[in-house]
Amino acid sequence: MRETFSHLRKMMRHIIYSIMVIIFVSLSAVLGATMANAQATAIDPAADRLMQQMSYFLSALKTFSVHVENRIDSLRPGDQPVAGL
Say which amino acid occupies 54. Answer: M
Number of domains in the chain: 1
Task: Provide the residue range defining the domain that includes 24.
Answer: 2-83
Check residue 81 and give its pLDDT.
66
Query: What's the pLDDT at 37?
Result: 63
**What does pTM read for this prediction?**
0.36
Is residue 50 a contact partner of residue 41, using CB atoms and an 8 Å limit?
Answer: no
Mean pLDDT per 10-residue interval, the chain, length 85 residues: 70 82 77 67 84 87 82 71 60
- Mark 50-69 as b/e (b = at least 16 C-beta within 10 Å): eeeeeeeeeeeeeeeeeeee
